[in-house]
């Protein structure tokens, strides 16, 4: 009898414990879908934010002139030789008198500049000497990148149009994703162009740069 009585007491206790656990199970069952929905919503918001923020950061850098290690956004270095410039995908830019990577060139503007010359059909005439007696073609001018001390001579008109087109290049960077090479993206270059308008002189001369990250 004692054993039977003890069994009934134990069963009664288990029954009460089961009744106390049941509401907690129901609460947990109803809470899980809500918690799952909150988690999924949070992940969706975070994913949307990262998708939007990433391109914004990529656009922001070039327009603020910030420099980073990526070759796409910063600097206009084409190496140390004519051959290396070609291997890097750089091209000769007659407006800049330099070899430039794509993100530093405004090819549309350069094409227009090459029709504004004082030579036949709007071409520019280049000379190997300051007396302007030895003409050289644009391909020869481009190859001067291998000769740091070599100079090419142009007319006053070349220098004047160059300055006008550089102001346009600086303005166009607001919308075309390009950058102006660091050596020309300065107040110093603007002052220099102002002096050309005030005192044109009789002509101009220039080297051909491979690295335009500095003057």
The string of pLDDT tens digits covering residues 44-65 is: 444 444 433 433 333 333 333 3
pLDDT at 40: 45
Q: How many domains does the chain have?
A: 1
Residues sharing a CB contact under 8 Å with residue 201, sequence separation 6 or more, in sequence order: 156
- Would residue 67 count as lying in a domain? no
- Would residue 169 count as lying in a domain? yes
pTM: 0.66
Give residue 62's Cα distance to chain centre. 4
**What range defines the domain where residue 132 resides?**
82-206
Could you say which residues of the chain have pLDDT below 70? Answer: 1-74, 215
- Would residue 112 count as lying in a domain? yes
- Would residue 110 count as lying in a domain? yes
Closest CA to 141 of 149, 131, 150, 132: 150
- Would residue 104 count as lying in a domain? yes
For residues 194 and 188, give the distance between their C-alpha atoms in angstroms, rounded to a whole number: 10
Helix segments in 2-148, DSSP class H: 2-64, 82-87, 107-113, 138-143
Q: What is the pLDDT of residues 76-104, one digit of tens each?
A: 999 999 999 999 999 999 999 999 999 99
Q: Facing residues of 152 across strands?
A: 206
Closest CA to 130 of 160, 155, 157, 153: 153
- Would residue 97 count as lying in a domain? yes
- Would residue 39 count as lying in a domain? no
Q: How big, in percent rounded to 5, are the helix, strand and coil portions of the chain? A: 60, 10, 35
What is the residue whose two structure tokens read 């330099």? 98
């Amino acid at each position: 009898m004692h054993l039977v009585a003890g069994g009934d007491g134990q069963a009664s206790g288990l029954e009460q414990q089961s009744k106390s656990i049941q509401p907690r199970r129901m609460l947990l069952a109803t809470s899980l879908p809500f918690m799952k929905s909150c988690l999924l919503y949070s992940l969706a918001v975070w994913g949307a934010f990262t998708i939007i923020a990433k391109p914004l950061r990529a656009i922001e850098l070039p327009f603020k002139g910030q420099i980073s290690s990526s070759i796409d956004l910063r600097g206009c270095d084409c190496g140390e030789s004519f051959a290396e410039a070609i291997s890097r995908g750089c091209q000769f830019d007659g407006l800049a008198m330099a070899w430039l990577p794509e993100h530093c060139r405004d090819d549309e503007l350069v094409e227009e500049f090459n029709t504004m010359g004082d030579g036949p059909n709007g071409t520019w005439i280049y000379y190997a000497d300051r007396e302007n007696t030895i003409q050289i073609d644009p391909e020869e001018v481009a190859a001067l990148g291998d000769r740091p001390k070599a100079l090419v001579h142009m007319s006053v008109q070349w220098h004047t149009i160059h300055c006008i087109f550089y102001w346009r290049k600086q303005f166009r960077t607001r919308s075309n994703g390009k950058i102006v090479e660091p050596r020309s993206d300065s107040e110093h270059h603007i002052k220099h162009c102002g002096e050309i308008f005030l005192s044109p002189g009789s002509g101009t001369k220039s080297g051909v740069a491979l690295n335009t990250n500095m003057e």
